Amino acid sequence: MKVLLLEDIKGTGKKGDVKEVSDGYARNFLIPRKMVKQLTAGVINEITGQKNADEHKKQMEMEQADRLKQALDNQSIVVKAKSGSKGRLFGSVTTKEIADAIKQETGCEVDKRRIILNGDIKLCGTYEVVVKIHAGVNAAVNIIVEGYPG
């Protein structure tokens, strides 16, 4: 009997696979536990529709990631922080502060966990950070840290 696996089954296959299993195994074990669906024309149409929807969703995500990359790539973002003498900051500039500054200056929402720093930012100056937008899509953003007396 040909079946569509609804979940990973050890020794049989992964979720979404179409497999040939024995009739008894399917009728007595897999189907009652709702681990598989018997392969019919309706199930085949459902699989095809789901694959098309998934492809469309991935394409839309990539297009949105490319637009965000275009907006962020090589932008210069100014972050203000309290500083002492010789441009040394009180504390350091965090990814949350960078994400807030990006949102304020460009209007693009960026998750602070997707900002990659090359070490701590503890001095005034210009730094380059990488923003991971999507799998394989990264944007380089210049961060200009300006100090003010605290």
The DSSP result for 120-131, as a single string, is -EEESEEEEEEE
Q: Assess whether 26 and 58 both reside in one domain.
A: yes
Beta strand spans in 30-150 (E): 36-38, 76-83, 88-93, 115-116, 121-123, 125-134, 137-149
Pair 143, 73 in one domain: yes
3-class secondary structure, 29: helix
- Provide the pLDDT for residue 85: 83
Q: Are 76 and 144 in contact (CB under 8 A)?
A: yes
For the chain, the domain total comes to 2
Model pLDDT for residues 96-148, shown as the tens digit of each residue: 999 999 999 999 999 999 999 999 999 999 999 999 999 989 999 999 999 98
For residue 112, the domain's CATH number is 3.10.430.100
> Which strands make up the sheet holding 18-20, listed edge to edge?
18-20, 2-5, 36-38
Per-residue pLDDT of 48-98, as tens digits, reads: 999 999 999 999 999 999 999 999 999 999 999 999 888 899 999 999 999
**Owning domain of residue 18:** 2-64
Last residue of a domain, one of 64, 88, 115: 64
- The pTM assigned to this predicted structure is 0.73
| CB-CB neighbours of 48 under 10 Å | 10
Q: Are residues 101 and 143 in the same domain?
A: yes
User: Does one domain contain both 57 and 75?
Assistant: no
Residue 20 has pLDDT above 80, yes or no: yes
Would the pLDDT of 21 be above 90? yes
Residues 130 and 87 in one domain: yes
| Per-residue pLDDT, 5 | 94
Q: Do 75 and 119 belong together in one domain?
A: yes
Give me the CATH number covering residue 36. Answer: 3.40.5.10
**Are 106 and 79 within one domain?**
yes
Boundary of a domain, candidates 46, 64, 82: 64
Element (H, E) at 4: strand 2-5
